Amino acid sequence: MEKVIKLVLEESSEEALGSKQINVFLFGSLVDECEPALQQGVTVAITGFQVSHSPTFSKDGRHTLQLELSEQTGARVFVYEQTLGRPPVTGTKGPIVQRTKDYVYIPLNEVKEGLTVNVYGVVKFFKQPVPSKGTDFYSTLTLVDPSAARLHCVLFSGSLDLLPQIYKVGDVVRFHRLKIQCYEGDLQGVNGPGFSALTFDGALEAGVTPRTASKSYQFTSTDRKIVRELRSWAKANLLAPDTLRLKDIQQNTKYLDLTCQLLAKETDGYLLLQVWDGTKCQRPIWQVNLDGYKLDGDANAIESLRGLSVDVLVYDNHASTASSLQVPGTTANTHTPSVNTHTPHTLELHLHGGTSYGRGVSVLPEPKQVLTLESGNISSQFVEYCSAQLATVYCPKNRQ
C-alpha cells in the first residue's frame, strides 16, 4: 500500500477570484517527510507539482484542477511556522484527509481512453530515450501481456533517470498512474501526474530487484508473483530478437543485438568501438586501419585480444552516447597492420544513425559475468558492457 495525503489549500488573499480552495495530493515518501508538519492552518509553498483535472470539483466546489506531488516529479513542500491569521475549522486536527491505497492492476485488454491505470506488462519493443524537440527526453515502448493485447506508450521526462530503465525485449515493467489516451485511432499510454515505473530483468533466473530511480516504492509478495508469471509467459510466447554471439554471425546476417565487452574506443578520426563477447567470429570481419591513431583502452587487453575483438563504426545520433562510454585503462598507441579492404565476403559492423527498430547503444545496469569465454586460455575481466543493435553488412569486392 502506498500512503497518500490529500490537502485542501486555501488562497490567503481576500481578492482572489473564483474558487479559493484547491485539492492537493502527496504520494509516497513525501507523505512521511511532510506529515508531521502538515497541521491545519499552517502556510505552505509547493513546487515541482503536476496539474490534472479534479474529478470532484462539481461536488466539493473547489478548483477544477488539482495538484499532485511525488518524489518522481521532484516536488517539494515548504511549511512555514506562521499561521494564516484565522482560527482552524472546528473539530479538524492534523492533515485534512489521510488514506492509504491498495494498487489494482488491470490487464492491457481492459484499458480505456480517459483512464489512469496501474499495469504490468512485458516489453515487446522499445527505443532508448532520446532528446525531444523541447528540453525533455522521451522514450517509446510497446507492452504485451497474457490478455493478447498490446499498448504503445510514449513517456516524457526532464530527467533520464525518471524514465523506465529498459535494456532488452522481454523486460518486465510496472507502471503506476499511466494515463490512457487515443492517438490516431489507437490507445496510447503516457506518463501523467504521479507516474512511476519499475523495471525487471525478463530472464527467468534473474532476481526480482527492480530498476528504478525512486527511493521509495511498494513491492509485495504479490508483485513478485506477477513478475515471475510474466517472465514465464514471455519465455513461452514472446519472440526474442536475434541476440547472437560473434561466433554465430553468418554471411547472410543483416541485423543483430550484440552484448559485448567494450575494450577500447577511438573518437578523433573515426567514432569506433572495439568490442568482444568472449567468442571468435568464424567469418572474416573488416577491421579499420588505425595505424597512428590513439585508442582509449587498456593496451595489454587490446594487444592480447587482437584477432578476437571486432570494430564497430558508430554514426550520427549515437555518437555522443558512444563517446561517453567508459573504457578501462589508458590511451594506447596502435600500430595495426593494413587490412585488405578488397577481400571478398568480408563482414562489417555498423551502428547507423536513427532509432528505427530500437537501434541504439546503452550500458547494462551492473557489471556481471554474463558472457562465456570460449577462446582458450584467454581471460578477461568483464567490467562494462554495451548492448547495441548492429547492422552486419556484406563487403563487396569493389569496395573503395
CATH code, domain carrying 201:
2.40.50.140
* Residues 253, 225 share a domain: no
What average pLDDT score do residues 291-320 get?
Answer: 82
68 and 30 Cβ atoms separated by less than 8 Å: no
Q: Which three cell numbers stand for residue 177?
A: 498512474
More confident residue, 158 or 182: 182
Indicate the DSSP class of residue 349: E
Q: Is residue 331 part of a domain?
A: yes
Indicate the DSSP class of residue 105: B
Nearest to 154 by CA among 178, 184, 122, 120: 178
More confident residue, 48 or 373: 48
- Residue 64 domain boundaries: 4-80
Question: Which domain-ending residue is among 190, 207, 237?
Answer: 237
pLDDT of residue 15: 55
pLDDT of residue 148: 93
Nearest to 21 by CA among 12, 10, 32, 5: 10
Q: Is residue 186 part of a domain?
A: yes
**Could you give the percent of the chain with pLDDT greater than 90?**
21
Q: Is residue 375 part of a domain?
A: no
pLDDT bin (cut points 50, 70, 90) of residue 382 is very low
Question: Which domain-ending residue is among 220, 237, 254?
Answer: 237
pLDDT bin (cut points 50, 70, 90) of residue 217 is confident
Q: Is residue 32 part of a domain?
A: yes
pLDDT bin (cut points 50, 70, 90) of residue 64 is confident
What average pLDDT score do residues 7-17 get?
Answer: 71
293 and 267 Cβ atoms separated by less than 8 Å: no
Q: Is residue 165 part of a domain?
A: yes
Q: Is residue 354 part of a domain?
A: yes
* Residues 263, 217 share a domain: no
Q: Is residue 194 part of a domain?
A: yes
Q: Is residue 280 part of a domain?
A: yes
Indicate the DSSP class of residue 285: B
Question: Which domain-ending residue is among 80, 107, 141?
Answer: 80
pLDDT of residue 107: 96
* Residues 125, 66 share a domain: no
Instruction: Specify the number of domains making up the chain.
Output: 3
What is the rounded distance in angstroms from the CA atom of residue 306 to the CA atom of residue 290? 13
* Residues 159, 268 share a domain: no
Question: What Cα–Cα distance (Å) separates residue 197 from each residue in 79, 121, 148, 156, 207?
Answer: 29, 11, 22, 12, 17
* Residues 136, 232 share a domain: yes
52 and 60 Cβ atoms separated by less than 8 Å: no
* Residues 206, 129 share a domain: yes
* Residues 190, 147 share a domain: yes
More confident residue, 103 or 89: 103
